[in-house]
Amino acid sequence: AQKITQTQPGMFVQEKEAVTLDCTYDTSDPSYGLFWYKQPSSGEMIFLIYQGSYDQQNATEGRYSLNFQKARKSANLVISASQLGDSAMYFCAMIQGGSEKLVFGKGMKLTVNP
Amino acid sequence: DTGVSQDPRHKITKRGQNVTFRCDPISEHNRLYWYRQTLGQGPEFLTYFQNEAQLEKSRLLSDRFSAERPKGSFSTLEIQRTEQGDSAMYLCASRGGWRDWTTDTQYFGPGTRLTVL
């Protein structure tokens, strides 16, 4: 069965600093995808970045990059140069094989201080 | 492109009543998903449509829950005989289904927050 683990309940970071949000996953399917979503207090889930299991390079999207370590089954999100607007809940999620079902972790709360 | 819209945004009901939520996906997206999110948790998958066909259902979708997408556009999620445990945020998402996940991911609506008294 597929599982996403996010163990950090919350993190605090100073504005303009970089921050790494941890995510580990478990699956027996060799074909899978990993996602990070942001959920501000307004409630809407905002897609940030995607990494496929067969992708050779780590995904990057603007200030977001995904540190994909396949052997360790980790997919950490790195946010460079944090901004106040980055304060939100962050969820790691996985999709497996031919399924369309996203499986989410419990999320972690990031607070960016001025 | 307008995003995914959901109606209502908030619903308060009494235990035992029926409620219905509506989701309008991004235009031309043929895949539509429903998720439920309880406090302090990540969203949990409920069901998925490709056009009007319901292709996948979670065990979470008990007999009291039913979802439809009759014309392959908007979708409704109905909960019959609501229970206090149904209190949650109900999220809808849509996806085009014709590109890879990098550029064609699940886009979420703002959600409907249900409170069962």
> Is A44 close to B41, i.e. CB distance below 8 A?
no
How sure is the predictor about B3, in pLDDT bands with cuts at 50, 70 and 90?
A: very high
User: What is the token pair recorded at A7?
Assistant: 């163990």
CA separation for the pair A46, A64 (Å, rounded): 13
How do strand B5-7 and strand B10-13 relate by DSSP bridges? unpaired
> Is A104 close to B42, i.e. CB distance below 8 A?
yes
The pLDDT of residue B72:
85
Average predicted confidence (pLDDT) for chain B? 93
A104 touches chain B (CB under 8 A): yes
Q: Identify the residue among A21, A101, A108, A109 best suited for mutation to test binding to B, counting B beta carbons within 10 A and taking the highest.
A: A101
Encoded amino acid at B75, one letter: S
> Is A101 close to B48, i.e. CB distance below 8 A?
yes
A38 touches chain B (CB under 8 A): no
Quote the minimal CA–CA distance from B35 to chain A in Å: 9
Return phi, psi of residue B84, to 5°: -60, -30
3 state SS of A86: helix
The pLDDT of residue B91:
97
Q: Which residues of chain A have pLDDT under 50?
A: none
Chain B residues in contact with A102 by the CB 8 A cut-off are 33, 35, 43, 45, 106
CA–CA distances in Å: residue B65 to residues A50, B14, B20: 31, 16, 10
Q: What would the mean pLDDT of B17-38 be, rounded to a whole number?
A: 95
Could you please report the per-residue DSSP string of A30-74? S-EEEEEEEE-TT---EEEEEEETT-SS--EETTEEEEEETTTTE
Beta-ladder partners of A96 = A32
A98 touches chain B (CB under 8 A): no
pLDDT digits (tens, 9 = 90+) for B41-60: 999 999 999 999 999 999 88
Encoded amino acid at B52, one letter: E
On whether the CB atoms of residues A82 and A13 are closer than 8 A, the answer is yes
How sure is the predictor about B1, in pLDDT bands with cuts at 50, 70 and 90?
A: low
Quote the minimal CA–CA distance from A110 to chain B in Å: 14
